[in-house]
Amino acid sequence: MGAVKEALRRPLGHFTERTLAGLAIVLGAGVGFGVLLVLVRTRWTPLYDVDHGVAQWLNDLVAPHGPLVTVLNALTDLGGRAVIIWLVSVAVVGLLIRKQGRLAVFLIVTGVGALVLDPALKTLVDRLRPEVEVPIGTYAGDSFPSGHALGSMVAYGALLLVFLPAMSRRWRKPAIALVAVVVFLIGLTRIALGVHFVSDVLGAWLLGAAWLGVTAYAFRLWRLERGRPVPALTDGLEPEAAHDVAPAPDEAHLLPHPRAAVFELIVGWVLVLGALYGFGMFVSYYADGTFFATLDTDVPRWFAEHRTPGRDDFSYWWSKAGDTHAILLISLVFCPLVLAVWRRWRPVLFVALTMFGELSLFLASAAAVDRPRPPVGNLDGPMPTSSFPSGHIAATLCVWVAIAVIVFPRTDRWWRWIFVALAVVMPAGVAISRMYRGMHHPTDFMGAIILTALWIGLLYWVVRPNEDLREGNRPSIESEDVDTLDDELAKAGRTD
């Protein structure tokens, strides 16, 4: 019994020595937030004057400069709820796949706490947003505290604590500094854009630091109770999980001959563009009297004659499945899952190059061919690009074909055929919707097929996204264990 007490006493003393300063900082942040909350709630005159004076001064400085406003809006989006929820959700799913349920629970609890604290305190304080002479943007809701500043402090701080062990020691301090700069810039943009006062951002930072500190130290106490050593916060929450939280720790090199691959892709890109330009110019201006001309005339006219309000709505939503936001979301969900399951960057590079090539080839060929839209009612109105090739269809084809190319050979389970079906059904649905809405000719669809086939074929030959399978790579959860995945994830979330 005495030996057990001694074993617990040593880590307890070590924990106390290491965390007294940290606990003092957490308590100081909490007290600071409480004082600021009272001052804001009582509308303390000196604070009121500073808040409104800075808001108006920054508005006079920023509002006349459109490019600066664009940059500030791009930076502030990094603290938006959509970005924060995506980052945390992807990290949680990845941690569960890697069987790091305790770290996943930490992210969930920390993130949910921030989501609850922000609206609750805004309702309690009921503070109006700044009123400036030249409004830059309009935001709904109350002002104190800043949700962007609070969310970025908590989310980026929690993610940093979880993934610090995956970094070498020389990169940890730069990573901490980078996160601090990002959080600071997000808070600064909220003031510069005139949507929050200085005290809103300061209050959010203090509250975020206090909440992040509470959850981090609760996690460290949990380690202490189980007799585990308590590391310095600069080593992350779970140093033992360094291998599992690293995105792709098993990959020695990305490409064997990167310089040759770059030149091959550049030359291939030019050749694909040439093929698109040749076909696009032919069907757009030189195909009179051919089958292509008949097809491009009759199909849009037939769709226009069979429009109904219900079909208009249905085609609108299916067409949205091929727009930039939908394709980007699919890519941003799929790529982290590939890293979590197969621990390889090459498939991610394959998807990234697929989408970059699709976008650049589409924009270049559309500008070069400059084909008018079909001569029927265009339900989506004027578009910034020309008709050939269809960007919606090409993007949908590329993303789903790339996903099928990666997933199909990596599992022997029946559901791999779902991805093959999606690679056919989704582009076909988007193509029919775009032609129904009078936005594209059938040969624009053909152009998208040419773009996809040539570009993905080139990338498959150069990048070889499934090369690791020849080396014997397997998912962290074997295919025969997929049926028990739910049980495994449940076990991962339990404490020892």
Would you state the pLDDT for residue 495? Answer: 40
Would you state the pLDDT for residue 235? Answer: 75
For residue 225, give every residue at least 6 positions away whose Cβ sits within 8 Å of its Cβ, in sequence order, or none.
none
Q: How many CA atoms lie within 13 A of 151 on its CB side?
A: 23
* C-beta separation of 201 from 184 below 8 A: no
Would you state the pLDDT for residue 469? Answer: 77
How confident is the model over 37-48, as pLDDT tens digits?
Answer: 777 777 788 877
Would you state the pLDDT for residue 223? Answer: 75
Q: What is the number of residues in the chain?
A: 496
Look at the alpha carbons of 59, 63, 67, 73 in this order and tell me if their dihedral is positive or negative: positive
Q: What is the pLDDT along the chain (496 residues), one digit of tens a residue?
A: 444 444 444 444 444 444 555 566 667 777 777 777 777 777 788 877 787 788 778 777 777 777 878 888 888 888 888 888 888 888 898 888 888 888 888 899 888 888 888 888 888 877 777 777 666 766 766 778 888 888 899 999 999 988 888 888 888 888 889 999 999 999 888 888 888 888 888 888 888 888 888 888 888 777 777 767 777 777 777 777 777 787 776 665 677 778 888 999 999 999 999 999 999 999 999 988 899 999 999 999 999 888 999 999 999 999 988 888 888 889 988 988 888 888 888 899 999 999 999 999 999 999 999 999 998 888 888 887 888 999 899 999 999 999 999 999 888 888 889 999 999 999 999 999 999 999 999 999 999 999 999 999 999 999 988 887 776 666 544 444 444 444 444 444 444 4
3-class SS string, the chain = CHHHHHHHHHHHHHHHHHHHHHHHHHHHHHHHHHHHHHHHHCCCHHHHHHHHHHHHHHHHHHCCCHHHHHHHHHHHHHHCHHHHHHHHHHHHHHHHHCCCHHHHHHHHHHHHHHHHHHHHHHHHHCCCCCCCCCCCCCCCCCCCCCHHHHHHHHHHHHHHHHHHHHCCHHHHHHHHHHHHHHHHHHHHHHHHCCCCCHHHHHHHHHHHHHHHHHHHHHHHHHHHHCCCCCCCHHHCCCHHHHHHHCCCCCCCCCCCCHHHHHHHHHHHHHHHHHHHHHHHHHHHHCCCCCHHHHHHHHHHHHHHHCCCHHHHHHHHHHHHCCCHHHHHHHHHHHHHHHHHHHCCCHHHHHHHHHHHHHHHHHHHHHHHHCCCCCCCCCCCCCCCCCCCCCHHHHHHHHHHHHHHHHHHHHCCCCCHHHHHHHHHHHHHHHHHHHHHCCCCCHHHHHHHHHHHHHHHHHHHHHHCCCHHHHCCCCCCCCHHHHHHHHHHHHHHCCCC
Cα-only R_g, the chain: 27
What whole-number distance in Å separates Cα of residue 366 and Cα of residue 17?
A: 65
What whole-number distance in Å separates Cα of residue 152 and Cα of residue 182?
A: 8
For residue 310, give every residue at least 6 positions away whose Cβ sits within 8 Å of its Cβ, in sequence order, or none.
none
How confident is the model over 437-446, as pLDDT tens digits?
Answer: 999 999 999 9
